[in-house]
Amino acid sequence: FTQLEGNMLSSMFSGPWEQACDANGCVFVDHSPEVMMPLFEWLREMRDTPTGSKVQLVQVDANHRVAWIRMMQSFSFRIQDLELAGITLQEFYEL
């Protein structure tokens, strides 16, 4: 996970990340698929977009928008990263 560094999610998977795994090798993340899948899509988009090209915004269902923003905040993404994900400063500060 090298697209965006310096956040909680990248910290979970840097170094010996196996420590975050359970006995079955799975990592537990307490967020619904409705907000995690857009995060994965966004990270793939960040990885696959050529340098200098605009990253497409990930679509998050309006019913899950607040949960999406709170999850992104909980992972300590920087403001500029949140803006790349389509989260406005107003949305960020209103929660």
Quote the pTM value.
0.75
Q: Which tokens is 93 given?
A: 């500060």
Q: Above 70 in pLDDT, residue 22?
A: yes
Residue 18 has a pLDDT of 60
What's the whole-number mean pLDDT along residues 76-80? 86
The burial of 61, by beta-carbon neighbours within 10 Å (0-12 exposed, 13-18 middle, 19 or more buried), is given as exposed
Q: Which tokens is 87 given?
A: 């989260």
Give CA torsion, residues 23, 39, 95, 6, to 10 deg. 70
- CA 87, CA 29: separation in Å to the nearest integer? 21
